[in-house]
Structure 1
Amino acid sequence: MKIKEKVHINQRPVKGGGFSLHLDYRIGGKRIREFLKLYLVPVKTQADKIKNTETIRLATEIKNKRIRELDSGELNVDTPKRAKTVFAIDYFQKKISQMKVENSRQNNTVMLRSFAEFRKNATLAEINRDFFSKFIDFLTSKDLSPGTIRLYGVLLKARLHDAYIDKLIPSMPDFYGIMPKKRSTEIEFLTIEELRQLDAEPAPDEIRNPFLFCCFTGLRFSDVQALKWDNIDNDTIIIRMKKTKEIVRVPLSANAKKFLPERKSKGKVFEIGPLNSLTRGLKAWAENAGLKKNLHFHMSRHTFATLALANGAELYTVSKLLGHRSVQTTQVYAKVLDEGRRKAVDAIPEL
């Protein structure tokens, strides 16, 4: 006879393939859906199969823990008393103040301003699916871009997850399907002519060298900021990327070498300040050079990818140089080039 389990592991399809895992169980007749932030990937290789096996193992561990908590009476659906009295803004501000990454603090602070404008005195207990839906509607009414709305939604969910970890709320609400769908954004990059234009315009070395170096290596800001001389061997960069944890090997071209400082025995290659200061310097440099583009550091990575593909590099090779986990991520650059070619053809006058 099949034994009816108290807790079930269920799957939900996610965009791009694969499934997210969540637990389903009931307490006092109320259904609880607990999202685990664990994902099964489409099986294409043996490594994918092994990864999915490990994911299922982790989900099963959590499931078994919930069963034990249900049996012992530790789990309940009563909202903790603190959640009914703690203002969400006060709790979120405390979490934001503990963040070490400046960019994260800034993004969360801006999100919190909109949250305060929407419902300043909301408690943690009030933030449910209906609340979240109305918050997204409020952001939409402010004529914010879909990308900004998605960002604010993601950040609010992350701070609410902090409250769940701190046991201020009994479970994460189900926000599935509420946020606007992610749209492909236009990628800005520099042409070789624009790079020459920048190169001809004087700029401080701490701004000029790392930016142009990344235009010919594809490194992110976080990676070039952490780059050490020990990471360069036989004219090749070997570094584990901070964002994806992927190890990349990027040969140094003659163009890239032009912007390397004098080699030292050890230490960092570039002395780079905070990103916001660097961004201000880049914008001033672009303006002085007569460029009409809104220059920011990540444009150097876009520039490397598009220049490499435009000059005959294979998509797979560029993907590996960028440290992308999937070639699909790199395909967006190929699409940009295809659109540019289409515009060039359509620009020819009719006979």
Structure 2
Amino acid sequence: MKIILRKKKLKNNKESLYIEFYNGSVITPEGKRKFLRTFEYLDLYLDNSSNSASIKQRNKETLLLAENILSIRQAEHIQGKYQIKNTRKKKTNFLEYYHKIKEDKYQSKGNYDNWDAAGLHLEAYCPINLSFEEIDESFVKGYKKYLDVKARTKSGTPLSQNTKYTYFNKFRACLRLAFEDKYLDIDLKKSVKSFDQGESQREYLTFSELTKMANTKCKYPVLKNAFIVSCLTSLRWSDIDKMKWSEVRDEDNGARIIFRQKKTDGLEYLDISDQARSLMGERRGESEKVFQGLKYGAHFNAEILRWCMRAGITKHITFHSARHTNAVLLLENGADIYTVSKRLGHKELRTTEIYAKIIDKKMKEAAEIIPKLSIKI
């Protein structure tokens, strides 16, 4: 491969500097020669508008910088070709790399919070100046043991099984990215097995409880409508919060929502009931949010609990419980598990099977198999 510094003339008496990576040529099926080139534009420019000393000096410095970048690219190519190890990356501070990865996750609120919380435990375990060349399998095993034995919550209690599972997986994901980015020579993610994931309780509303909620006053009508729509559609908070009218289609045979899931980035086509559509209200501008005034925060979360109490429901219900409610109601009313999985946007069927355990009718029947005892108290 040839790596060359080139110039491109612009209309404003300037020249743009860029690097050309030339990798030969091939003959296409049409019999034409195709040159294999890629380019890296450096965002550096030479100014030819004047012969003044200051501009000449600036051009000289710009050209020197471009030539230095060219030298680096040529060196990187040689390293790859002859498998010369890049020791510079190995000396990178591990915690700084982790925090950079964490900040890249900022767009995903829940995921970012998990990376942030996991990072606090990493800071407690890792020496502050730890570099990648000091990370090995024993270090990874040590961090797993730290989470399992020493790590504590803010209230001083040991971490739950699922919290250990989540935090250690963020650490392993960081190691995988570091391996892909060539900060590590081996994929340490594969060297130590993760924690087993604990089965968490999924709180949900029964149909009668949801009916009570629907007929009980909520301080914020937009919150009430959004919550019930989630119960009827399985939409997550993040997707309801960002939903715009351009995503809602009113078609001849009913309404559907065509949207990209914020959590998975998957494109979804979700048919919804007439009742769910009516709770969204009248259509407004395509760029406007469907649920205007909906806010994420402790205030709205507390109102859901107060709303439940007014309805006589003592369960700890959150907005995400609406999604669990939808899954349970669908299965109880005859929907097959594959359809439910598709509506929830699950990538794996085993994720949906958790809801099947909740409504296992055979287990309910078994509870009544044994005849009643004749008991005198």
5 Å-filtered alignment, 1:88-103, equals 88-98=94-104, 99-103=106-110
| 8 A contact 1:244–1:323 mirrored in 2 | no
Question: Could you tell me how far 1:287 is from its partner in structure 2?
Answer: 4.6
Q: TM-score, normalised by structure 2?
A: 0.64
Shift in Å, 1:151: 0.7
Q: Which residue of 1 aligns with 2:144?
A: 136
Q: Deviations over 1:126-170 (max 9, x none)?
A: 332221111111111143222111111111122334434554334
Which amino acid in 2 is paired with 1:318? V
- Whether 1:236 and 2:252 are equivalent positions in the alignment is no
Cα distance in structure 2, aligned partners of 1:226 and 1:151: 26
The 8 Å contact of residues 90 and 133 in structure 2, kept in 1 or not, is answered as yes
Partner SS state of residue 342, structure 2: helix
Tell me how far apart the structure 1 counterparts of residues 277 and 195 of structure 2 sit (CA, whole Å): 43
Alignment check: 8 A CA contact 1:227 1:269 kept = yes
2:116 and 2:337 map into 1 onto residues whose CA distance is 38
Give the C-alpha shift of residue 258 in structure 1.
4.9
Q: Which of structures 1 and 2 has the bigger CA Rg?
A: 2
Asked whether the 8 Å contact 1:248–1:323 carries over to 2, the reply is no
Deviation larger for 181-190 or 338-347: 338-347
User: Number of matched residues?
Assistant: 280
**Deviating more after overlay: 279-288 vs 192-201:** 279-288
Is 1:108 aligned to residue 115 of structure 2?
A: yes
Pick the aligned partner of 1:336 from 358, 361, 370: 358
1:314 counterpart (336, 359, 368): 336
1:270 matched to 2:300: no
Secondary structure of 1:224 counterpart: helix
Cα distance in 2 for residues equivalent to 1:166 and 1:325 = 27
Q: Distance in 2 between matches of 1:194 and 1:347?
A: 29
Question: Structure 2: how far apart are the matches of 1:119 and 1:136?
Answer: 12
Partner residue, 1:34: none
| Matching of residue 299 in structure 1 with residue 313 in structure 2 | no
1:198-209 correspondence to structure 2 within 5 Å: 198-199=213-214, 200-209=216-225
Provide the rounded CA distance (Å) in 2 between the counterparts of 1:83 and 1:326.
37
> Please, which of 173, 178, 181 is the counterpart of residue 188 of structure 2?
173
Structure 2 gap segments, 5+ residues each: 1-76, 152-157
Aligned mate of 1:117, from 115, 124, 127: 124
SS at 1:216's partner residue?
helix
TM-score, normalised relative to structure 1: 0.68
Match runs of 1:1-351 below 5 Å? 72-76=81-85, 80-84=87-91, 86-98=92-104, 99-121=106-128, 122-141=130-149, 142=151, 143-199=158-214, 200-230=216-246, 231-234=248-251, 235-242=254-261, 243=264, 245-254=266-275, 256-266=276-286, 267-271=288-292, 272-274=294-296, 278-338=300-360, 341=364, 345=368, 349-351=372-374
Q: SS at 2:233's partner residue?
A: coil
How far residue 265 of structure 1 moved from its aligned partner, in angstroms, is: 4.2
Distance 1:297 1:317 in 2: 22
Query: Judging changes above 3 Å, is the alpha-carbon distance between structure 1 residues 87 and 276 closer, same or farther for their aligned structure 2 residues?
Result: farther
Letter in 2 for 1:100: Q
Instruction: Give the aligned residue type for 2:174.
Output: R
1:279·1:296 contact (CA, 8 Å) conserved in 2? yes
Distance 1:237 1:133, change over 3 A: same
Q: Is the Cα contact below 8 Å between 1:319 and 1:327 reproduced in 2?
A: yes
Structure 2 CA distance, aligned partners of 1:201 and 1:71?
66
Say which SS state the counterpart of residue 233 (structure 1) adopts: strand
User: How many angstroms does 1:70 deviate by?
Assistant: 8.9
Report the CA distance between 1:303 and its aligned residue. 0.4
User: Identity rate of aligned residues, in percent?
Assistant: 25
> Higher mean Cα deviation, 338-347 or 127-136?
338-347
The secondary structure found in structure 1 opposite 2:258 is strand
Quote how far apart the aligned CAs of 1:182 are. 2.5
In structure 2, relative to structure 1, the CA distance for the partners of 1:140 and 1:101 (3 Å cut) is same
Structure 1 contact 248–320 (Cα < 8 Å) conserved: no
Using the alignment, how far apart are the partners of 1:154 and 1:259 within structure 2?
39
Cα 1:302/1:343, change in 2 over 3 Å:
farther
Partners in 2 of 1:203 and 1:341 — Cα distance? 37
How far apart in 1 are the matches of 2:367 and 2:180?
A: 53
Structure having greater relative contact order (Cα 8 Å, sep ≥ 6):
1
Q: CA RMSD in A?
A: 3.1
What 5-or-longer segments of structure 1 have no aligned partner?
Answer: 1-67
Q: Distance in 2 between matches of 1:334 and 1:279?
A: 27
Partner SS state of residue 188, structure 2: coil
Q: Structure 2: which amino acid aligns with 1:89?
A: L
